[in-house]
Amino acid sequence: MAAKARATKHPRKSPAEPCFDNLLKVLRHEVPARPTLFEFFLNGPLYAKLSGRPYKKAEDRITDLRRLVRAFKAAGYDYATFHGSGFGFPAGEKHRAQTISLNEGAVIHDRKSFETYAWSEPEDYDYSALENIAPDLPDGMKIIVCGPGGVLENAISLAGYDRLCFLLADDPPLARDICDAIGSRLVKHYQIVAPLDTVGACISNDDWGFKTQPMLSPAQLREYVFPWHVKIVEAIHAAGKPAILHSCGNLAGVMDDVIDGMRYDGKHSYEDVIQPVEEAYEQYGRRIAILGGIDVDFICRSTPAEVKRRSTAMLEQAAARGSYALGTGNSVPEYVPPEGYFAMISAATEGRG
């Protein structure tokens, strides 16, 4: 096999100015003025390369956000993603590895442990970085705020996947109380961040599935999880902002719920082994914006030329109808070759500036 090229230099010296209206057009099923990028998050070394600043944990969140803004702008995005604050749902310690157990670190096992769990309240956290970033935010650029996971992700983190499944069978009221405690706080989180002037959209990030099916049955998702996503989207839409769902797994059986029930504006996370993004675009692209989708495994295993060819073809497929922004199928973890990532985004950014 021929050796892959190792050039990792950023492909553009002078990125075009950001314009969040392009992503808004994508989310409205319109054709943007130019090819538009979308990514959930990148990785530390890539943020450092793009921002020109060492990647290390900052003492304050505004410093982190400034670096993210600098990095996303340098790559050609019209926004930067950010969690907003330190709000979340702390669980037990998990073993750090390339894969993790969905049962490790569980802290809620029964009614007593549920009632003694110290729930965090989103209004007790500091969201000021989202306001203080305004002077450093380039004209035309916005922040997209995501959550500290979603309803199902956090229920699994707090109770463990196996225990949650047992609770659904043996103690449905407790399973409901766990999901309600999480969901109600996530709604408050988005009610706080969505109205802010620097925020252009919100991501509701909640992985629901495996390769072949959802983690819970569609009926269980509709009973325990989806009603909170309806409220999350309503909170985001009430502020006049688009709502984006990031959810991994095979969601074929619940996509109508995502589109017609929850009314998400865009869907992110695609995997070739489940459904290639090219097929997802043809099936759903007239009903919901398709974001990203260039399979992470494909980027890792392919040459930069192959990655750019597929990325260019996907942009051409969507050129007449819009409703698409280019990016990976999930995110850009450190194991993704930088040259593959830069080859992908160059399909959208070459010739811009």
Residue 119 above 70 pLDDT? Answer: yes
Q: For the segment 309-346, what is each residue's pLDDT rounded down to a tens digit?
A: 999 999 999 999 999 999 999 999 999 999 999 999 99
Cβ atoms of residues 293 and 314 within 8 Å: yes
The pLDDT value given to residue 14: 46
Burial call 21-42: b when 16+ CB within 10 Å, e when fewer: bbbbbbbebebbeebbbbbbbb
Instruction: Decide if pLDDT at 98 tops 70.
Output: no
Name the 3-class secondary structure at 209.
strand
Band (147; pLDDT cuts 50, 70, 90): very high
DSSP string, 79-101: EEEE--SS----------SSS--
- Say what the pLDDT of residue 2 is: 36
pLDDT band for position 99 (cuts 50, 70, 90): low
pLDDT band at 7; cut points 50, 70, 90: very low
- Average pLDDT score over residue span 208-223: 97
Chain segment 268-325, per-residue pLDDT in tens = 999 999 999 999 999 999 999 999 999 999 999 999 999 999 999 999 999 999 999 9
Are 33 and 73 within 8 A, CB to CB? no
pLDDT score of 322: 98
Give the per-residue SS3 of 220-263: HHHHHHHHHHHHHHHHHHHCCCCEEEECCCCCHHHHHHHHHHCC
| Domain annotation for the chain: domains and CATH numbers | 21-89+107-349 (3.20.20.210)
pLDDT over threshold 60, residue 5: no
Per-residue pLDDT reduced to its tens digit, 49-72: 999 988 777 668 999 999 999 999
**Both structure tokens of 109:** 């096992």
